[in-house]
């Protein structure tokens, strides 16, 4: 029984923590964590959570100490451990970028030659410099990368960026994106068949939660004369549901619509004479042969 329990490593406390815990909870998995302990068991699913520093998660999963982990792609790329990326999770979005002081009057990649670049991502930076034929020095530091140029430790930085306000505050200008990143689920390469089947059960739930996050349920009233056009405008799972209203000449249309195209579609629907448009969140969405709208 014991070896059927999958161990999921999550960030103990940091930018990925809350959304990692929420994702587990939204999959209906209840975790009983007491006093901020480093390990906790789920009460209704064969899963155990390990609470770690994010930097350690790829190593723990590669070593098989944890079976699964939720960690930024930035660390998966940087740490180069033998793990499988199962899926990206849509949060913790950022990019690893090179930035230089605005006073440098930077023009092109060539200006990086001969500079010292401070980073906590030496491998990723080194690969980028090599690929672009840039000869710069890498100074590996532990944190607070953005202050390195102002204290004379380096002439440029390579750090994670999300809003860009940290760079701005420190007089730095983003010049190159090394890669884009978001949180991902990783797995050990040595999962037993029992653990793989627990992972498959969890993935079924995870997909239902992640698919639902991307979509909204929409209901509207459509005049019959533009019904055909309205139905064509609406992407949906298979096709929209159309139900006649009690009032002659009108129908109610129900559909599932992707967040990406949401406002654009809504405008078209209004132009086609739709009224009483309601938009509702979807909690879980299970799709088989149908593709996301």
Task: Note whether 164 binds ligand PRT by CB under 6 A.
Answer: yes
144-163 residues in contact with ligand PRT (CB under 6 A) are 159-163
Q: Which of 46, 58, 69, 92 is the binder for ligand PRT (CB under 6 A)?
A: 92
Stretch that binds ligand PRT, among 11-19, 147-155, 253-261, 269-277 (CB under 6 A): 11-19
- For residue 247, how far is the Cα from the chain centroid? 45
DSSP state of 238: S
The site for ligand PRT, by CB under 6 A, has a size of: 21
- Residue 59 sits in the site that holds Zn ion (CB under 5 A): no
- By the 10 Å C-beta count (0-12 exposed, 13-18 middle, 19+ buried), 235 is classed as middle
Residue 223 in tokens: 């005049």
Verify binding: residue 54, Zn ion, rule CB under 5 A: yes
Pick what 124 binds: Zn ion, ligand PRT, none; C-beta below 5 to 8 Å, kind-dependent. Answer: none
Query: Under the criterion CB under 5 A, does residue 55 sit at the interface with Zn ion?
Result: yes
Candidates 175, 152, 177; CA nearest to 106 is 175
Please report, as residue ranges, which positions from 72 to 111 form the binding site for Zn ion (by CB under 5 A). Answer: none
**94 lies in the site for ligand PRT, by CB under 6 A:** yes
**HSE (CB half, 13 Å, CA atoms) of 237?**
17
Give residues 230-249 in contact with ligand PRT (rule: CB under 6 A).
none
Q: Which is nearer to ligand PRT, 16 or 198 (CB)?
A: 16
Task: Give the CB-nearest residue to ligand PRT.
Answer: 72
Residue 45 in tokens: 């699913």
Backbone angles phi, psi at 284, to 5 degrees: -135, 150
The two three-digit tokens of residue 232, written as one number: 């064509």
Q: Do 59 and 66 form a contact (C-beta atoms < 8 A)?
A: no
Of 14 and 28, the one with the shorter C-beta distance to ligand PRT is: 14
Residue with Cβ nearer ligand PRT (131 or 169): 169
Query: What's the maximum distance between 2 C-alpha atoms anywhere in the chain?
Result: 76
Stretch that binds ligand PRT, among 52-60, 62-70, 132-140, 223-231 (CB under 6 A): 52-60
Neighbours of 80 (CB within 10 A): 12
123 touches ligand PRT (CB under 6 A): no
* CA pair distance 120, 77, nearest whole angstrom: 13
The backbone region for 160, taken as left when phi is positive above 0, alpha when psi lies in -120 to 50, beta otherwise, is beta
Rule CB under 6 A: is residue 215 a binding residue for ligand PRT? no
> Which residues are near Zn ion by CB under 5 A?
54-55
Contacts with ligand PRT by CB under 6 A lie at 11, 14-16, 53-55, 72, 74-75, 92, 94, 159-166, 181
């Amino acid at each position: 029984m014991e070896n059927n329990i999958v161990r999921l490593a999550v960030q103990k406390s940091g930018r990925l923590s809350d959304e990692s815990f929420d994702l587990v909870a939204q999959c209906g998995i209840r975790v009983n964590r007491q006093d901020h302990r480093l390990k906790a068991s789920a009460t209704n699913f064969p899963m155990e959570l390990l609470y770690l520093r994010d930097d350690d998660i790829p190593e723990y999963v590669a070593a098989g100490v944890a079976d699964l982990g939720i960690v930024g792609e930035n660390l998966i790329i940087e740490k180069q451990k033998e793990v499988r990326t199962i899926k990206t999770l849509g949060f913790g979005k950022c990019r690893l970028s090179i930035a230089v002081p605005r006073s440098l009057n930077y023009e092109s990649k060539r200006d990086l030659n001969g500079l010292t670049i401070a980073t906590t991502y030496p491998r990723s930076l080194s690969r980028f410099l090599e690929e672009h034929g840039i000869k710069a020095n890498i100074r590996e530091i532990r944190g607070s990368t953005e202050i390195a140029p102002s204290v004379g430790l380096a002439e440029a930085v390579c750090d994670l960026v999300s809003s860009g306000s940290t760079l701005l505050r420190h007089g730095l200008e983003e010049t190159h994106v090394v890669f884009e990143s978001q949180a991902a689920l990783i797995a050990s390469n040595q999962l037993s068949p029992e653990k793989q089947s627990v992972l498959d059960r969890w993935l079924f739930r995870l997909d239902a939660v992640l698919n639902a996050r991307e979509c909204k349920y929409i209901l509207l009233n459509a005049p019959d004369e533009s019904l055909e056009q309205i139905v064509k405008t609406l992407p949906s799972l298979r096709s929209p549901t159309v139900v006649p209203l009690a009032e002659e000449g009108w129908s109610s249309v129900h559909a599932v619509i992707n967040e990406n195209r949401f406002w654009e579609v809504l405008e078209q629907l209004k132009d086609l004479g739709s009224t009483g448009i309601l938009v509702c969140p979807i909690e879980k969405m299970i799709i088989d042969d149908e593709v996301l709208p």
